[in-house]
Amino acid sequence: MYIWYSIICGILLTALPLPVPEIVRVYSDGSDIYDFGVWKMNVEWRDNFPNGNKPEPVTYDAEIFHTEQMQLVHKETLKDPMGTHQWSWTSPLPLQCTSHSVRLRTRHQSHTSDWTPLYTLKGACTFNIYPKDYVARVGEGIVFCCILKTESRAGFSHPPFTIQISNRTYITEPVRRDDVSDTGGFDVLCNQTGATYFIGYAPDDQNLTCETRDLNSVECHWIPGKTGKSRMFNVQYKVNGRYTELFDQCVLDDSVDKGVMNWTLIAKNSLGEKMISDVADPKHRVRLKAPTITSAVLVHARNATLEWQWDEKSKLNSFPMICQVEVNGHTVQETFNGSGLKSLVLTDLQPFTGYSARVRCGSYEHFYKWGDWSTLNTFSTKEDIPEAVDMWMQILNGHTYVVWKSLTANQSHGIITGYELLLGSTTDEPKEHISKATNEHCHKVSAKRAEGDYFMFIFAKNSAGISPPSKITIPNLQSGTNSDLYILHTCIDCMESDGHKHFIYYLIYFADGGIIPDHISGLNDSFSISWDPSPNSSCGYVVDWFPTYSTEQCAVKWMKISSGVSNATIYSDFENGVKYTLSVYACTSGAPQLLQRREGYVKELAPVGKVQNLTAEQHGKDIKLSWKDMHEEEKKGFILGYNVYYMHSSEDQKYDILSMFSLPSVSLKQVFCVQNACYIFIRHMLDVLFLLFTQNVSYFISVSGINS
């Protein structure tokens, strides 16, 4: 009986018209005390079913209009809310722009009730623009409205306000910006009034990472996202519910002995919020703060000890750690480890050198990251004895000179205070001691009459002591027992008995005969020279060079070559047009042995001198020409021959060249003529030329040298 009653009641309810709901209240959401604009409209109603007999399911149709033009702007079917009948709608433009009217009806299956009367939420009445100080995301569309004064309606035209939605209200198409506004925002104007809006981003912070720096607390840091330039986009941060004033990090006074921990960051601004998390065991994420480095202690010539301290509040005194040191901007490959490490020893340092060093450390057991670098500590190592001096010798005009190079900063190991020389022979005692100042790098060896070769030791001095000795063996030039070719140089302004100037080569000869210098040509401001390996070489080779015609003492320069190498390219302060003599020596247990001598120019130039004392003697139809050679320094290259020019004295014309008389510059040639043909030969340094000329005719004649 009860079942049939329920069915009959249900049929009667559905057959009856549905009751019209009653709108109780329509209001905007929130208080707009600054009149910037509100968008959300709230509606509350009652359904008016008698005696609580309400069929299931029931929905409600809602429609919203712009009141003045009754333009439908939104419709929606609402589910039956449980409890209070309430619904909120967000308008695409501020509710102040125009009045909005809402109506409802009840719906059950295919049946609907009548609509409620329109319930109107009035818009603003005064001249204004909405919204104001609006905050929007980049790319978001914003609709602005301009409410006109009554007297301003006629003929209104003010882009971008082009769409009329009521008698006094015009709106824009959605305004979009793809760029972030500056601190002052963007402006929109209408009839001499305006509104400002701001464009930015909601928080988009990334990579929350929490770690410990001192085993006492946890430091969390993250990468802030871009928001905007205006304070309207300021972000508020909370980590595990605790606010932080910093925008990229915070410190939590949490114990690190809890094992795995969770951290959550919430970043929030006026456009939204972002939540990111991190999970880790802080003891596996140790990134130590910078230690406080103290002055370097126990500084020696080649090592130094660095010391530092940790924060007294930290728990690092027994913490196993690994440390790294940077010296003069370069990280040392070796690492150092220990519990609560507070010092290390730097080795392989250069003496008398300034250094700057800093230290950083990390966890030894669970290495995560290197900690922060300490501040730089500067110190200088002490002096050490100098390295051995690079020495050589030169024989010039029959005199022997021992020369040596200045030590570089890396070789001197301190401030050089002078040099000590020790000269002796292989047969005599005692030895001769000689002191030299720091600016001296040459010593003339006095001639000796004793038999045997001489040796010279040289030592460099600084405050730490003297260098290891350098030694060179010098042949005894006075004894006449050594016939080996050792060193070549030239004697300038030596004269022969015939009164002519000659350039005499001083040679000490090998037992197997003399060595005549070969020509060598330079390339790219250098000389390349090679030689046959010598079986007598026990300590490599020496290549030296000097300007061939220089009389300057100790002008020789040299380089030492390792054993097994038989070539060298020499770069030096070579000058174009200057002849240089290059020699190769084998380094032996005794005196060095000359292997090769070359002469040449790094680059030849045209001669700048003239032949001297050109004379002509006529013998019948023959004229004998004689001249002296130009100075060697003026040749600027190898002289290949001479050009003879002549001109009739009665004619005003250029010289003619007798090209057949381009003469090879070689020694001891003769001159003879057969019939009318003259054969021309030259005597070295005294050039003689016979030419055949016509009698009773005057000639002007000149001679010039030619080279390559």
Q: What is the pLDDT of residues 601-652, one digit of tens each?
A: 999 998 888 878 888 787 776 777 777 878 888 899 988 777 766 665 655 5
pLDDT at 502: 30
The DSSP symbol for 290 reads P
Helix/strand/coil for 579: strand
DSSP string covering 471-497: EEEE--TTTS---S----EEEEEEE-T
Give me the mean pLDDT over the 306-320 stretch. 89
Work out whether strand 111-112 and strand 100-108 pair parallel, antiparallel, or are unpaired: antiparallel
CA distance linking residue 66 with residue 71, whole number of Å:
5
For the chain, the distance separating the N- and C-terminal CA atoms, rounded to the nearest angstrom, is 139
The DSSP H or E segment spanning 705 is: strand 699-707
Q: Is the pLDDT of residue 674 over 70?
A: no
Q: What is the CA radius of gyration of the chain?
A: 53
Q: pLDDT band at 475, cuts 50/70/90? A: confident
Q: For residue 508, what are the contacts with CB-CB under 8 A and spacing of at least 6?
A: 395, 475, 477, 482, 483, 484, 485, 486, 487
pLDDT at 31: 66
CB 598 within 8 A of CB 581: yes
Q: pLDDT band at 468, cuts 50/70/90? A: very high
pLDDT at 83: 66
Q: Is the pLDDT of residue 316 over 70?
A: yes
Edge-to-edge order in the sheet of strand 343-346: 292-293, 304-309, 343-346
Q: Which domains does the chain have, with CATH numbers?
A: 2-121 (2.60.40.10), 128-200 (2.60.40.10), 206-284 (2.60.40.10), 292-380 (2.60.40.10), 391-474 (2.60.40.10), 489-601 (2.60.40.10), 612-707 (2.60.40.10)
pLDDT at 496: 37
pLDDT at 15: 54
Task: Give me the residues paired with residue 324 across strands.
Answer: 360
pLDDT at 237: 96
| Identity of the residue numbered 215 | L
- Average pLDDT taken over every residue of the chain: 83
pLDDT at 684: 33
CA distances from 225 to 247, 252, 499, 669 (A): 10, 22, 97, 95
Give me the mean pLDDT over the 152-171 stretch. 90
Give me the mean pLDDT over the 555-565 stretch. 94
Q: pLDDT tens, 355-392?
A: 999 999 999 999 999 999 999 999 999 999 999 999 99
